[in-house]
Amino acid sequence: MTITIHNLGYPRIGAKRELKFAQEAYWRGESSEQSLQETAKRLRSIHWQDQKVLDFVPVGDFSLYDQVLDMSVTLGNLPSRVTELPGSELDAFFRTARGRSPADQSAGGVAAGEMTKWFNSNYHYIVPEFSAETTFTLNAERLLEQLAEAQALGVNAKPVIIGPVSYLWLGKEKDGSNKLDLLEQLLPVYDDLLNQLADAGAQWVQIDEPCLVTTLDADFRHAFDIAYHQLHRSKPKLLLASYFSDLGANLDILRELPVDGFHLDLVHAEHEVFRLIDWCDTKVLSLGVIDGRNIWKTDLNATLDKLEPIADRLGDRLWLAPSSSLLHVPVDLSQEDTLDTEIKSWLAFAKQKLSELHVLKVALEEGREAVRDELDANTAALASRRASTRVHNSAVAQRCAAVNADMGTRKLPYAERAPLQHAHLRLPLLPTTTIGSFPQTAEIRKYRSDYRAGRISEAEYIAAMHADIDQCVAIQEELGLDVLVHGEAERNDMVEYFGEQLDGYVFTRFAWVQSYGSRCVKPPIIYGDVSRPKAMTVPWSAYAQAQTKHHMKAMLTGPVTILNWSFVRDDQPRADTCRQIALAIRDEVLDLEAAGLNVIQIDEPALREGLPLKREHWQPYLDWAVEAFRLSANGVRNETQIHTHMCYSEFNDIIAAITEMDADVITIETSRSDMELLEVFENFHYPNEIGPGVYDIHSPNVPTVDSMVALINKAAEKIPVERLWVNPDCGLKTRAWPETKAALEHMVSAAHQLRKKHRAAA
C-alpha cells in the first residue's frame, strides 16, 4: 500500500517574516520590484524544500498579498478603477490590495478592495468585485511560472486554486446583479486554466471550495453541479477541497460530483468520513488529519487507530494532509529557543506538522514498528501534557464549578440602576469619551522595549508611563472630555498585555501568523488553566484616577476577545477556557471598583468573529460567550458603570446576545455606515446606553464639527438622546497626536452644541 501525503498550503511570510519586510520596503519605494520578486522566489524555494517529505507539494499558495486577490488576477477580474490607471501588473495588484502602489507615492491613491475575514480565521482576503458587466479573461502566467519554478527544483507540484463556486461566493456584486449569473462565463476560463496546468505537467490540481462548509442556498448548491459537470472534462485530475468545518447539509452535494478526489477536514468533520468513503468507489479521499489551525502535537497513535481501518478500505486511494492550509499556523517551532522546554515538547508548527504526516504515512505503509521511536516520543509528549501539574490547577477548577447565574447578573436591572449611576456620576447629556488608547508614539514604544530589554529600571519605566498618563489627562481635561482614559501606553497589544500577566499562557518569539498583507499577529498560547496571580491594570488606572477630578474609565479586554485572539488549548471545550479567563477578568473588575474606578470598559471586538461557520451553531457559541462576558462584568455595584466596545458594524444577527450582555454602555463603529447600523438597535428596542462612533479613526482625516453634529442628530432620531454617548469609532493608538487633538476638539464642540440645543428645547 502506498499512502500519498500532501499539503493544502504553506505559510508564505517566511520563518523570520522575510516577506513582510520585503513587501514594506517595496511599498516605501526603498527596493525594486525585482528585489521583491527575488525574495518571493527564494521564499517559495525554501518552502518547497521544507515540504520535501511530501508526495505532492502545493504551488500557487504563495502570494505577494492574498491568494484570493491572486485568483482575481488569474481570472482577469480586477476593479476597473484600478486597471484604468497606468502602470505595471504589480501596480494594479497592490492598488487593489491597499489603495496604492509605490508608483502613486505622491499622487493620491484609489479605493482599495474591501477586505474581510477568511471564514472563521483571523486571515483577511480581498473581496472580488462583480457587476453585471464583469467579464473574465485568463491570465495563467503566475501559476505557470511558479509551476515551472517548482518543477525545476525537482518538486512534485500540485497547483492550488480557488474553485469557481467559492470564488463567486467570496465576492460581492457592486450593482445589485446576481453574481451566480457569472458562473456560465467563468467556467470556460477555469477550463482553460486547468488544461494549461495539465499541459505544463500538473497531474493533479487542488481546487478549493471552502464555501462548502457554510450554509448554502439552493442556487449555490446547484452551482456545484453545473460547475463540476463542466470542469471534469478538463485534463488534470481534480481534488476538491473543503476545510475548517464539516459539510453538514452540503455533504450530499458531493455524492454525484464528478471529480477525482475529495479532501475532508477530519479534525472538524470526522463524523462524515464514512459516508464519503461509501461514495468514493474509485475516487481519492484526502483526509485532513493534522490540525491546520492550531499548534498542538497530533496524537499519532489515536490518529492511526482511526486511519488503519480506513486505509484497509481505501488502499492507495487514501491521501493524508493537514486539515487546512498551514497558512494559519507559525512556520517553525525549532526557532523558539527561549520557550519553556516542557511546553515546547507539546507543540508542532507548520514544519513539525509535516513531519507528523510523514510518520503517519510510514506507519500505515510499513506498520507502527517502523516508526516506533517517533510514536513513542509522541506518546511521551502527550502524556506529559496530560499529566502536567502546570496544565491543571485545582483552585481554578473549583472556582469554575462554583460559577452560578447570579454571579453574572447585575443587582438591579438597567432601568433601576441607571438613575443610581446618573446620580453618582453626574454626567451631562451626550457625555463624551474615547475608546481607550491614545497615540502610541515612538517614544512610548522605546520605553517599553527598553524596559523589556533591561535597559531601563522598573522605576524609570513607571515614571515614564506616569508622565504619559499625566499628559493624556491634561490633554483630555483641556479638550473638555467628560469621561477620561489613561491612554494604554503600557500595552503592546490588547490581548498579549493580559496574557503576559495571566497564568496558563506562554509566549513565543517568532510564531507569527499572517493576518493580512504584510500584517502578522503573534497569538499567545493558552496551555493550561488560566488564573490571575495579581492585579494587572489597577495600579495604572488608580494612578490615572488620582490625577483628575473627572471620572477615569478603566480599560480591560474581555474574555471572549482574549480567547479568540489566542491559540487555545484543545484538551477542553473553548467555553471552559473562556470561563476561566472570565473569572480572572472579574477579579480585575472588582479590584478596579474597589480602587475607586466608577466606570470600567471591557472590550469585546472579537466577539462576533468567533461565530461558527454554520448558523445552526451560533446560539450555543453566543450562549457561552455572553455568559463569560456577564461573569466578568456583572459582579459590580449598581453605581458602577460598565462599558463595552465592539468595533464592527454588523449587529443584525447578534443583537439579542449583545442586549443579554447588559453592559450599561456599548460603543460601536458607525461613522462609515452613516448611523445605518443603529437601526438594528432601534428596531430591537435596545434598552441601555449607546455610543455610536462619530469619528472614523481608521483615517487620518479630521472630521468637521458639522459632520459630527449631523451624525449625532441622525443617531438621536433612532435612539433617545438621554441614552446616547459621543465618542470615536475605536482606540486612537494608530493615530498621531495632531490629528487626534483636532478631531477630539471638534467632537467635543459637536457634543456641546447639541447639549445646548436639547437643553433649550427641554
Residues that bind ligand GLN (CB under 6 A): 435-437, 488, 494, 555, 603, 605, 645, 647, 730-731, 733
- Give the residue among 275, 270, 300 at the shortest CA–CA distance from 287: 270
CB of 669 to ligand GLN, least distance (A): 9
Rounded Cα–Cα distance for residues 418 and 664 (Å)? 8
Applying the rule CB under 5 A, the residues between 239 and 278 that interact with Zn ion are none
Among Zn ion, ligand GLN, none, residue 641 binds (CB under 5-8 Å by kind): none
CB nearer Zn ion, residue 323 or residue 644: 644
Least Å distance, CB 554 to ligand GLN, is 11
Residue facing ligand GLN at closest CB distance:
731
Residue 586 interacting entry, from ligand GLN, Zn ion, none, C-beta within 5 to 8 Å by type: none
Binding partner at 436 among Zn ion, ligand GLN, none, C-beta below 5 to 8 Å by kind: ligand GLN
Instruction: Choose among Zn ion, ligand GLN, none what residue 408 binds, the Cβ cut-off being 5 to 8 Å by kind.
Output: none
Q: Which of residues 716-735 bind Zn ion (CB under 5 A)?
A: 730
607 is a site residue for Zn ion (CB under 5 A): no
Q: Which amino acid makes up residue 535?
A: A
Closer CB to ligand GLN, 526 or 555, in the complex = 555
SS3 516: strand
Please identify, using beta-carbon distances, which residue of 228 and 629 lies nearer to ligand GLN: 629
Provide, rounded to whole angstroms, the least separation between the CB of residue 483 and Zn ion: 16
Site pattern 632..651 for Zn ion (x: CB under 5 A): ---------------x----
Helix (H/G/I), strand (E/B), else coil: 67: helix
C-beta closer to Zn ion: residue 102 or 558: 558
Compute the half-sphere exposure of residue 320: CA atoms within 13 Å on the CB side of its CA: 30
The helices-and-strands tally (H runs, E runs) of the chain is 29, 22
x-or-dash string of contact with Zn ion, 150-169, rule CB under 5 A? --------------------
User: Which of residues 113 and 605 has its CB atom nearest to ligand GLN in the complex?
Assistant: 605
**Between residues 437 and 508, which has the closer beta carbon with respect to ligand GLN?**
437
Catalytic residue selected from 47, 698, 746, 752: 698
Q: Which is nearer to Zn ion, 461 or 648 (CB)?
A: 648
Contacting range for Zn ion; rule: CB under 5 A; set: 415-423, 478-486, 537-545, 600-608: 600-608
**Contact range with Zn ion by CB under 5 A, out of 59-67, 496-504, 598-606, 752-760:** 598-606
Residues 6+ apart with CB under 8 A from 541: 486, 552, 554, 555, 592, 595, 597
Task: Look up residue 197 and give its DSSP letter.
Answer: H
User: C-alpha grid cell for residue 10?
Assistant: 504553506
State the minimum distance, in angstroms, from the CB of residue 667 to Zn ion. 8
Of the two residues 630 and 733, which places its CB atom closer to ligand GLN in the complex? 733
For the chain, state the CA radius of gyration.
Answer: 27
Q: Which three cell numbers stand for residue 686?
A: 435596545
Cβ(364)–Cβ(376) under 8 Å?
no
Q: How far is CA 578 from CA 610, 624, 628, 689, in A?
A: 12, 8, 6, 26
Supply the DSSP string of 166-179, one letter for each residue. Answer: HHHHHSEESSS--G
Contact 265, 324 (CB under 8 A): yes
In the complex, minimum distance from the CB of residue 495 to ligand GLN, in angstroms, rounded to a whole number: 10
Kindly compute the dihedral angle of the four CA atoms of residues 186, 191, 194, 196, in this order, to the nearest 10 degrees: -110
> Are 82 and 101 spatial neighbours (Cβ–Cβ below 8 Å)?
no
Q: How many residues line the site for Zn ion (CB under 5 A)? A: 3
Minimum CB distance to ligand GLN, residue 605 (Å): 4
Among ligand GLN, Zn ion, none, what binds residue 437 when CB lies within 5 to 8 Å by partner kind?
ligand GLN
Beta strands at 503-506 and 525-531: parallel, antiparallel or unpaired: antiparallel
Smallest gap from residue 485 Cβ to ligand GLN (A): 8
* Choice between 265 and 488, CB closer to ligand GLN: 488
Alpha carbons 712 and 728: distance in angstroms, whole number:
12
Contact partner, 322, from Zn ion, ligand GLN, none, Cβ < 5-8 Å per class? none
Task: Please answer whether residues 214 and 614 qualify as being in contact, where contact means their C-beta atoms are separated by less than 8 angstroms.
Answer: yes
Reported as type and span, the H/E element at residue 451 is helix 442-452
| 617 alpha-carbon distance from chain centroid | 19
Nearest CA among 361, 329, 365, 324 for reference residue 347: 329
Q: Is 551 a catalytic residue?
A: no
Q: Which residue is nearest to Zn ion (CB)?
A: 647
- Which one of Zn ion, ligand GLN, none interacts with residue 733, CB within 5 to 8 A by kind? ligand GLN
529 binds, among ligand GLN, Zn ion, none (CB under 5 to 8 A by kind): none
79 contact, one of ligand GLN, Zn ion, none, CB 5-8 Å limit per kind:
none
Q: How far is the CB of 358 from ligand GLN (least distance, A)?
A: 40
652/650 Cα distance (integer angstroms): 6
Nearer to Zn ion, 555 or 647 (CB): 647
Least Å distance, CB 665 to Zn ion, is 14
Contact 739, 702 (CB under 8 A): yes
555 binds, among Zn ion, ligand GLN, none (CB under 5 to 8 A by kind): ligand GLN
CA distances from 678 to 501, 714, 718 (A): 37, 9, 7
The minimum distance between CB 421 and Zn ion, in angstroms, equals 23
Give CA–CA dist 606/555, Å, rounded. Answer: 16
Contact residues for Zn ion, defined by CB under 5 A: 605, 647, 730
- Active-site residues: which are they? 698
